[in-house]
Amino acid sequence: MTERRSAGADAIDLTVARLLTVGTYLSVALLAGGVLLMAAVGRSPLDAPAHDFDPGALFGDLLAGRPDGLLWLGLVILLGTPSARVAASIAGYLRSGERAMAGVGLAILAVVASGVVVGVLLGGTGG
C-alpha cells in the first residue's frame, strides 16, 4: 500500500510541476509579447494600460492585436496558475483517496475565492 501511495504522490507532484511550468512559461511569453507589441506600436511599457481589466474586452483585444490583450491574458494566467495548482492537487488527492488533503486544498481555494470576492466588492480592481 505504501508503494501505491508513493506512486500516487509522485504522479500528483509531476502533474503539478508540469502545470506550474506551463503556466509560468505561457504567462512570461504573453507578457513579453505584449511588451514587444507595445514597443512596435510606439508605447512604453511604463505607460498606463489603455483600459482597466475587462474580461469582456480581452478576446477583442487579442483579436485586434492590441498589446493590452496579451498583457492582461499573461497576468490572468500568471495569477491563476497557483490556484490551478491547488485544483490539480485536489483532483490528485481525491483520485488517490486522500480526502483530508483534498479538504485542505478546498479550504485554500475557498480562502483565495473569498479574497477575490472581497476585493471585487470593495472596488479593488485598480480603477
pLDDT at 2: 47
**114 compared with 12, residue with greater pLDDT:** 114
Q: Is 93 exposed, middle or buried (0-12, 13-18, 19+ CB in 10 A)?
A: buried
Q: Could you say which DSSP state residue 25 is in?
A: H
pLDDT at 18 over 70: yes
Q: Are 43 and 67 in contact (CB under 8 A)?
A: yes
Grid cell listed for 53: 481589466
Lowest-confidence segment of 19-23, 35-39, 108-112, 121-125 by average pLDDT? 121-125
Fill in the amino acid letter for 43.
R
pLDDT at 126: 52
